[in-house]
Amino acid sequence: MQVKVMKNILRANDMLAEEIREILKQNNVRMFNVLGSPGAGKTAVLEAILPKLQSLGKRVAVIEGDCATSNDADRIAVFNVPVIQINTGSGCHLDANMIRKAAGEFDLSQLDIIFIENVGNLVCPASFDLGEEAKIAVISVTEGDDKPLKYPRIFNESQLVVLNKIDLVPYTNFQRETFYTALESSKAGAVCYEVSCTKEEGFEALINYIK
Amino acid sequence: MQVKVMKNILRANDMLAEEIREILKQNNVRMFNVLGSPGAGKTAVLEAILPKLQSLGKRVAVIEGDCATSNDADRIAVFNVPVIQINTGSGCHLDANMIRKAAGEFDLSQLDIIFIENVGNLVCPASFDLGEEAKIAVISVTEGDDKPLKYPRIFNESQLVVLNKIDLVPYTNFQRETFYTALESSKAGAVCYEVSCTKEEGFEALINYIK
């Protein structure tokens, strides 16, 4: 019963996601679904790249997902971009229905890129297609070098991985070799960019990927 | 439909959890459900306190939850305690049915304490009673000082909070006052112990609480 309902929910979600993908394509808008644990630095990565994309003339909007508070949307609003906060309560992920509603609030003809910041969770968001062009997994050094092995699905589903907080490597037991071996076993040929949001380092490759 | 099925699942889970609680009580076994984000340090906290509890004569067993791998169970097995690994695949939490099966593998008459390490996830595990005496939320400094505000339920449901990686405070923008204000707003009167697993500091209060 539980499995059947879940399958029905996922099928309905995927159909809606395809609709969203089609609408975005018609409007020449690219959408990225940013995933990761609580505190991995998803918002901080957006804060780092938003001004860079704006200086390249890109018109960006953001959909923020969190269980509670509008903290992340408030941080993003500083950049003077359209931003919508979705609070999921005890919900552990965003779904396509939430994104369709939120994206409907934007004037798509005035946008080039939409970023979705998913609920902080390294498990559930992997199962839900939101109509994005690509999933970007953000993982931080302080979470440990074994995470791609223990939570393989989100890394397997993501087109790009951003390894954040590399400035903290010297203060932890994080081993790059262990991490990249784990990542490769979750997704052969995975692409990963290393960044530090606090030191504002390493964003060139990410900007090139997105623009 | 989705909501109704979820309610039925939770009700069935809670009944099973009460059964487990009763069985443990009859056997004088205390059980703690350790929750937190991926990489918060749940396994490291167990590694720190297991030898201390053993030196106090406590007989301990551990149930490990993870999406994939037996990495955590392997780390715990070093302490020569009974340990069972549950792999949830794409499942985002442990439930009472899993715990009943796993606990059934132990000889309860030979145990004083069972620790459950839940799947790394700051959202979903909060909803599932596993028959534990208390939930212990592990949160690390590097996840940020705003997490109790953004993921209030798990902090509200937990009887104890362990703030890990305090040795990294100087290298982050973590503000203790912000954290404790956020924690208090999620749960009035919350009890929080600060520890560092890598520096092996701060475990006296936690040991006193558990023993």
CB-CB under 8 Å, B67 with A38: no
In the numeric block, the tokens 């951003």 are attached to A162
Read off the amino acid at residue B133: E
Contacts of A121 in chain B (CB under 8 A): 92, 121-124
Interface test with B, best of A6, A10, A67, A197 (most B CBs within 10 A): A67
Contacts of A38 in chain B (CB under 8 A): 37, 122, 143-144, 147, 150-151
For residue A3, give both structure tokens: 């499995």
Q: A161-170 burial by CB neighbour count: b if 16+ within 10 A, else e? A: bbbbbbbbbe
How far does A161 lie from chain B, in Å, by closest CA?
A: 16
Q: Indicate the angle between helix axes B2-26 and B96-103, nearest 10 degrees.
A: 30
Helix (H) or strand (E) holding A136: strand A134-140
Instruction: Inform me whether the pLDDT recorded for A109 exceeds 70.
Output: yes
| Domains of chain A, start order | 2-210 (3.40.50.300)
Cα gap B57→B106, rounded to integer Å: 18
CB-CB under 8 Å, A5 with B71: no
How far does B112 lie from chain A, in Å, by closest CA?
A: 29
Q: What is the mean pLDDT of chain A?
A: 96
C-beta of residue B19 within 8 angstroms of C-beta of residue B100: yes
Q: What is the pLDDT of residue A7?
A: 83
The model carries a pTM of 0.95
Closest CA to B92 of A154, A142, A190, A64: A154
Average pLDDT over residues A28-36: 98
Beta-bridge mates of residue A36: A121, A138
> pLDDT tens, A60-97?
999 999 999 999 999 999 999 999 999 999 899 999 99
Q: What is the pLDDT of residue A8?
A: 84
Q: What is the pLDDT of residue B4?
A: 75
Cβ neighbours of B205 (radius 10 Å): 15
Q: What is the pLDDT of residue B1?
A: 52
Q: What is the pLDDT of residue A206?
A: 97
The closest CB to that of B143, out of A38, A66, A153, belongs to: A38
**Confidence band (pLDDT; 50, 70, 90) for A9?**
confident
**Confidence band (pLDDT; 50, 70, 90) for A25?**
very high
Residues (pLDDT < 50) of chain B are none
C-beta of residue B36 within 8 angstroms of C-beta of residue B89: no
Contacts of B1 in chain A (CB under 8 A): 5
CB-CB under 8 Å, A68 with B149: yes
Contacts of A142 in chain B (CB under 8 A): 39, 140, 142, 165, 168
CB-CB under 8 Å, A5 with B150: no
Distance between terminal CA atoms of chain B? 44
C-beta of residue A96 within 8 angstroms of C-beta of residue B176: no
ipTM of this complex prediction, to 2 decimal places: 0.93
In this complex, how many residue pairs, one in chain A and one in chain B, have their CB atoms less than 8 Å apart?
Answer: 130
